[in-house]
Every structure is written in structure tokens, then in C-alpha cells.
């Protein structure tokens, strides 16, 4: 069993950490921003003062925070992870952040003699709790092989995509597909309801055909019932689409449908929905149509 530093115990991070505990690993938590969650400590986790101390004591250091600046802060600020790592240690960033920044972060950690994996996840809070996350990994084969038993405690579909940054690139691609599927389901249900059809029955009919998808199954039901507790917050999906659009500008390509989905998320944000589940994208469309599929 391994000693694992785990930094970032939010909606996704806490159940991921709990699954590592269930697998028998010892967790080391940092209290540099917030107190360590009491339930993790009660189950045997050890609270330390900062990421440097965590990195000094742990073999693996997992980071699961919201965005690129937070990862940089955890890794490279005073008393950050970089001050505590060295040969034999593996830093695993499971946040969803910039592929370009990831390559730079990996190079700086490698200079310390440690190994670096970017390993963002897909599957939301449900997948985090059930340990069924899809995990997209960038890094070298040796580091991946060492980390694989840990990743298998948190996920099911685990793929070494390529070198550092490629895991984050795969995650951005995933978020493009998820956003456009959410928008497609939302537009279809809005169209059906405005035309007088029962959106629940339309969804039921579509589930048996080629339009069937996990988004239609899970998020379609959320749209119909109006249950928009996160899940995965709109603000985080906006962050991921910003990464996609910024990357597209760097590459000189156009992602018109991604840009459109981002605008609908922005409408939701303007309505006060930054913390709604991303399935609430339909509320942006409903606002523009002045019509709700949940009104009788």
C-alpha cells in the first residue's frame, strides 16, 4: 500500500480520496487553505501543514483543484509541492487544466528528479463516488505503470494517451463532446415541448433509437425534472471550453459549435447559474425562448 498525498478534496476530490482509503492506501492531506475533511481524517488520513510537507512524506502526490492557477499555486508557491519532491516520487495532476501549462509544469517537476502525470477525469460526482471515472493520462510508461493501481481505485476506463499534456488535450476534447451533446439534448427537448409534445415521452422514445446517449439518459432526465444541483458546475465547464477555444486560437482552427455552447453557458451564468449543474444549459435556451419545458 502506498502513502499518497491528496490535495483538493472538493466535490470530485473527496470521493476519489475516499476510494483510495477504501483500497488501503494512507492519505496525507494539506491544510494550507482549508482544514482537512473530518471524515477522511477519521478514516485514517494524516493532516499536514502545506503541500511541501505532503510531498516530502508521500510517494505519490495527487492534485485535484479547479483550474490552472490553482495547480500552479499548489505546485510552485512557497511551501509548494515542488519544494518537497525528488527522485522516486510521482506527481499526478488530476485537475482539468491547460495542456500548454501542463507541459511546462511537468518539465519543472522533472527537473527535481520526480515524475509527472497529467490524469484528468470524466464521469462527474457520480463516477467519482462509484470509482468508475474515465481517466486520460499523459506521461511516460514507467510513471504510468507505477500509478496504475492507484488510478484503478478511482476509475475504470484508464488510458495512457501519450506524453505530458496529452491527457489534458484528451480531457478538453471530452468536454467539447459533452457540451455539444448537452446542447443537442436541450435543444431537442425544447423543440418538442414548444411543439406541444411531452418532453418526458419524447426522451423515452429517443432512448430506444440512434439518438440514445448517456447525456440523453442522465441529463435529459435532469432537464425534465429541473434537478440542477451539481454534479459538474457550469462555471467549470465554461473553464474547460475556454481552454478549448484558447487552444483553437493557438492552432489556427475554428470550433464554431463549441463557441456557441459557451455562449449559452454564459447566458446561464448571467442568470445566476454559475453553480448550476451543466445540464442546466437548457435554462439558457429556455430564457432565450421565453418558454420552459417544465411549465404545464
Give the torsion sign (CA, 282, 286, 288, 289).
Answer: positive
CA 23 to chain centre: 22
Instruction: Give me Rg for the CA atoms of the chain.
Output: 20
| Catalytically active residues, by annotation | 171
CA dist 215 and 182 (Å) reads 6
Q: Is 27 helix (H, G, I), strand (E, B) or coil?
A: strand
CA 204 to chain centre: 29
Q: CB within 8 A of 99, min separation 6: which ones?
A: 118, 165, 166, 168, 169, 172, 243, 247
Amino acid at each position: 500500500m502506498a502513502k499518497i498525498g491528496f490535495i483538493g478534496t472538493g466535490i470530485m476530490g473527496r470521493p476519489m480520496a475516499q476510494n483510495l482509503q477504501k483500497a488501503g492506501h494512507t492519505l496525507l492531506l494539506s491544510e494550507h487553505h482549508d482544514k482537512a475533511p473530518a471524515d477522511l481524517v477519521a478514516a485514517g488520513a494524516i493532516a499536514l501543514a502545506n503541500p511541501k510537507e505532503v510531498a516530502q512524506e508521500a510517494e505519490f502526490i495527487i492534485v485535484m483543484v479547479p483550474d490552472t492557477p490553482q495547480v500552479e499555486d499548489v505546485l510552485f508557491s512557497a511551501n509548494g509541492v515542488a519544494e518537497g519532491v525528488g527522485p522516486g516520487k510521482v506527481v499526478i495532476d488530476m485537475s482539468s487544466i491547460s495542456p500548454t501549462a501542463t507541459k511546462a509544469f511537468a518539465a519543472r517537476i522533472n527537473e527535481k528528479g520526480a515524475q509527472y502525470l497529467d490524469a484528468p477525469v470524466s464521469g462527474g460526482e457520480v463516477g467519482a463516488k462509484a470509482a468508475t471515472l474515465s481517466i486520460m493520462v499523459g506521461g511516460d510508461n514507467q510513471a504510468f505503470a507505477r500509478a496504475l493501481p492507484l488510478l484503478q481505485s478511482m476509475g475504470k476506463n484508464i488510458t495512457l494517451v501519450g506524453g505530458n499534456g496529452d491527457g489534458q488535450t484528451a480531457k478538453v476534447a471530452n468536454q467539447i463532446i459533452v457540451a455539444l451533446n448537452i446542447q443537442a439534448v436541450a435543444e431537442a427537448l425544447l423543440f418538442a415541448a414548444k411543439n406541444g409534445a411531452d418532453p418526458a415521452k419524447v426522451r423515452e422514445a429517443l432512448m430506444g433509437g440512434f439518438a440514445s446517449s448517456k447525456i440523453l439518459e442522465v441529463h435529459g432526465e435532469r432537464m425534465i425534472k429541473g434537478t440542477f444541483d451539481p454534479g459538474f458546475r457550469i462555471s467549470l465547464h465554461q473553464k474547460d471550453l475556454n481552454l478549448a477555444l484558447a487552444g483553437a486560437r493557438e492552432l489556427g482552427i475554428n470550433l464554431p459549435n463549441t463557441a456557441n455552447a459557451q455562449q449559452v453557458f454564459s447566458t446561464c451564468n448571467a442568470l445566476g447559474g454559475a453553480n448550476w449543474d451543466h445540464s442546466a444549459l437548457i435554462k439558457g435556451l429556455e430564457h432565450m425562448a421565453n418558454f420552459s419545458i417544465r411549465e404545464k
